Structure 1
Amino acid sequence: TGLLARAAAALASGRFLYLSSIRAVVGPDFSGTIDEATVPAPQDAYGRSKRDGEIRTLDAYRSAGRSDAAVLRLPPVHGEGMKGNLATLMRLADSALPLPTAALTGTRSLISTGAVAGAVLRLLTKPKPLRPIYIAGDRPPAAISEIVTAFRRGFGRPPRLVAVPAAPMRLAARLFGKAKEWEALAATQICDPSLLFAEGWAPETDTLEQLTELARRSRSGDAQAR
């Protein structure tokens, strides 16, 4: 990233946008609101790598006397080919088993691939100078239980979410050495895209409907493959 940013700063005209992640500033179990002023405290190798890329990008342009580079921090991205926890949740949703997720009421921001593309286009073409950091995220945020329900709706399955109280779930997670995973599932992580919104970008507001359609397309694609 550093080499690319230095080469771009020295040789290329136009703006440079580094797509980062909220993991560059918070860990999976962080609960709270994330904005441009959130103090970076990455908690894992992925987050530290993203934070390092941010620093190298902005330093490269600053050293070249340029201010036309920016960092765009993203929450989990949903769309075709998505990876990570969202992909795992979609696989779990495509089963007939009841899932103990009804008690997971913490909400989190997501963003679609289309919304990411719109944010990138807006930052590359907006008339005003770039700020160093931007946060993106669709509205409103969604709870894990809502995400699983949306996926199951797309798969043509009933929700089948079991309302297991949070306390025994937390205790069981600790007993099995999965306390961090539990805290990550229970966390509330809200991205505040107010600055990006002020630049003329509009967040999407139909996240759950898009997740349902994503699962529906996945099921249709599997059927055609057979």
Structure 2
Amino acid sequence: MKIILIVLAMIVNLNQHLNPNHMELFQATDPELIVYGGADAGKTYSIADKLLCQSVWQNDRSLKALVIRKTFPALRVSALEILEKRAALFKMPFKLNEAKWIAKCYNMTFVFQSLNNKEDYEKLKSQTDIDFIWINEIIQLREPDYEECLRRMRGGKSEFEQIIIDFNPIGKTSWIYKRFFERNIGNARKLRYTILDNHPDYLALEKTQRELKRLQATKTQNINTYNIYFLGEWGELEGR
């Protein structure tokens, strides 16, 4: 998938930035997309890239993405910050209105939303014309929260509607495991990534190699940590 973006007479080759190991994520059009796995796998970066690129791939229509995390302070320093950084890297405009916490990138509108109190839930219920929803660190939310998000997926203009969730698979006692892996409700597509699936250029960095060795070393220190954060496999909630 070759992607060239022309911005103000500058040609930006997105292929050098998009992770070639995450092509299935970029190409997936399933209504529900589960992106999980180990630490430092580049999951959130590729989700952000996919949403930003919709403004290029679907530039003939108005689009809207709802970006959610349980608390707003956490949302600001995670998904929002990553979207800003990636847009800057791609030379895309990303105009953020901090009064309303809405951003514009070409024909894509990003709406940033926390889910931490009654006011947040009422605000969520008022959201309309949503094409995409990204729930960052869904492990912090409840199953009814997710179901309410599903109900927001209507009225959009995208070629496909999609809700994307990301998380580290901390424990099989979570509702996430029971819903998506045990009962397979919705038949969602599930993509598992580890640090070894990160962008080749990032993997080549000295700091990444140090992190890789640290994660591998947890095999002899704490097998649960190793399974979750290196292998990206379901672990067990310790002490519960």
TM-score normalised to the size of structure 1? 0.26
More strand by share: 2
More helix by share: 1
Please identify the structure whose Cα radius of gyration is greater.
1
TM-score normalised to the size of structure 2? 0.25
